[in-house]
Amino acid sequence: MKEFWSSRIRGIVPYTPGEQPRGRTFIKLNTNENPYGPSPAVVAAIGRETGDSLRLYPDPEATELRQAAARFYDLTPEEIFVGNGSDEVLAFAFQAFFEPGKTIAFPDITYSFYPVYADLFGILYDRIPLKEDFTLPVERYCGGEYAGVVVCNPNAPTGIQLPLTEIERIIRANPAVVVLVDEAYIDFGGESALGFIRQYPNVLVVQTMSKSRSLAGMRVGLAFGNPNLIAGLNAVKNSFNSYTLDRLAIAAGTAALEDREYFQETRSRVIATRERTVDSLREMGFLVHPSCSNFLFASHPQVPAQWLQQALRERGILVRYFNQPRIDNYLRISIGTEADMETFCREVAALLQKRGSV
Ligand code: PMP
């Protein structure tokens, strides 16, 4: 079956993305997409790139996009790297900054792509257990024994944010190695570590346009760091693929960064809907962790999460379930539109009633 595969690839267990259903319309609350479309300016910008220009290669440095990001974040383009989704940016960062055969640290419960990248590149890792309440035991990351650290903030799939002072503690305790801060969900209420990149040469902040800017389908990820780290990422990228972002992605990402008003409005809407959904779920008896992201992590003491996920699926609603120790009675629920979440809460209430759990 795996004839001809290299020994490294034979042993790999790839990441499994959330379901993208075909042939039936679901309320999709399973992959943390934004329920609102991208800015109309993005659609117009893509339209301008769909003619004759497609015969030309895109700008390998995505200068226009990096300049727009520099304006938005008040940085220089030399402090910014862009890639084909933040998954690619993370993969490049693992290759650029972590050493095969040496051990890096990340939590036991976090974005499940990290161990996959580490395995792919032969990097060893310790999965440090989160505390009982799913917060990060910061001191475990501060002993100076790791060849790199990865923290996702706010964490996925819990939505819990680690205070910036704690992130800074980790950065300061690991001056000789890179601390990678994955801020995929930062725009939904978290505090970004971006302000640290000029102070600490060992911090790389990774963000995405897939969530708060509604561009999951375009694949645009960003990294921010000292120009030395950015040059490291470029060395990996330019040894792999000169054109990781196509013309449409560069145009779309640039326009999304320029439409500040749309960004503010849609993310505020998601946050407001999230808070209303937290209240409704708690009223129904769910334990819901405080979330700084566009999803909720919730568990019901009487109703098995896996049963609920299946029952919701039959009713046309997709949520994410992880069959994994410690979190196998939780659902991760992405925040949809106000109407989506009203339907979701109504269906959940009906299911609880059916099981006699209200
Ligand atoms: N980091 C985290 C924590 C995520 O949840 C995701 C989305 N699955 C990503 C990175 C990657 O997002 P993208 O590749 O769409 O930018």
Q: What is the pLDDT of residues 184-203, one digit of tens each?
A: 999 999 999 999 999 999 99
- 209 Cα nearest atom in ligand 1: 16
The answer to whether residue 303 scores a pLDDT higher than 70 is yes
DSSP string, 319-350: EEE--STT-TT-EEEE---HHHHHHHHHHHHH
Among 88, 117, 180, 210, name the best residue to mutate to test ligand 1's pocket (greatest count of ligand atoms within 8 A of Cβ).
Answer: 210
Q: Please, which residues have CB within 8 angstroms of residue 137's CB and are 6 or more apart in sequence?
A: 128, 129, 130, 131
For the record, the structure tokens of 153 come out as: 């903030």
| Ligand 1 touching residue 156 (CB < 6 A) | yes
The answer to whether residue 358 scores a pLDDT higher than 70 is no
Question: In the block, which residue shows the tokens 């015969």?
Answer: 55
| Ligand 1 touching residue 86 (CB < 6 A) | yes
* Tally of helices (H runs) and strands (E runs) in the chain: 11, 12
| Greatest extent of the chain over all pairs of C-alpha atoms, in Å | 62
Q: What is the pLDDT of residues 142-185, one digit of tens each?
A: 999 999 999 999 999 999 999 999 999 999 999 999 999 999 99
> Residue of the nearest CA to atom 4 in ligand 1?
184
- 216 Cα nearest atom in ligand 1: 15
Over the chain, what is the mean pLDDT?
96
| Ligand 1 touching residue 215 (CB < 6 A) | no
> Residue of the nearest CA to atom 1 in ligand 1?
184
Mean pLDDT score, 131-135: 96
The answer to whether residue 117 scores a pLDDT higher than 70 is yes
pTM of the model: 0.97
The answer to whether residue 19 scores a pLDDT higher than 90 is no
Residue among 86, 184, 355 at smallest CA distance from 192 = 184
Amino acid at 235: A
Burial class (CB in 10 A: 0-12, 13-18, 19+), 40: exposed
State residue 121 phi and psi, 5-degree precision.
-100, 10
DSSP state of 141: G
- 18 Cα nearest atom in ligand 1: 8
Q: What is the CA radius of gyration of the chain?
A: 21
For the record, the structure tokens of 189 come out as: 């209420």
Spatial contact of 117 and 8, defined as CB atoms under 8 Å apart: no
- Strands (DSSP E) along 103-170, which ranges? 103-107, 124-128, 149-152
What separation in Å is there between the alpha carbon of 208 and the centre of ligand 1?
7
For the record, the structure tokens of 250 come out as: 């560069």
Encode 8-32: b = buried (16+ Cβ within 10 Å), e = exposed.
eeeeeeeeeebeeeeeeeebbbbbb
> Residue of the nearest CA to atom 12 in ligand 1?
86
Question: In the block, which residue shows the tokens 């999951």?
Answer: 216
| Ligand 1 touching residue 154 (CB < 6 A) | no
Among 86, 182, 245, 333, name the best residue to mutate to test ligand 1's pocket (greatest count of ligand atoms within 8 A of Cβ).
Answer: 86
Beta bridge partners of 298: 288, 331
Mean pLDDT score, 204-217: 98
Q: Looking at residue 266, what is its pLDDT?
A: 97
Q: Please, which residues have CB within 8 angstroms of residue 112's CB and are 6 or more apart in sequence?
A: 15, 322
| Ligand 1 touching residue 182 (CB < 6 A) | yes
Question: In the block, which residue shows the tokens 């923290």?
Answer: 151
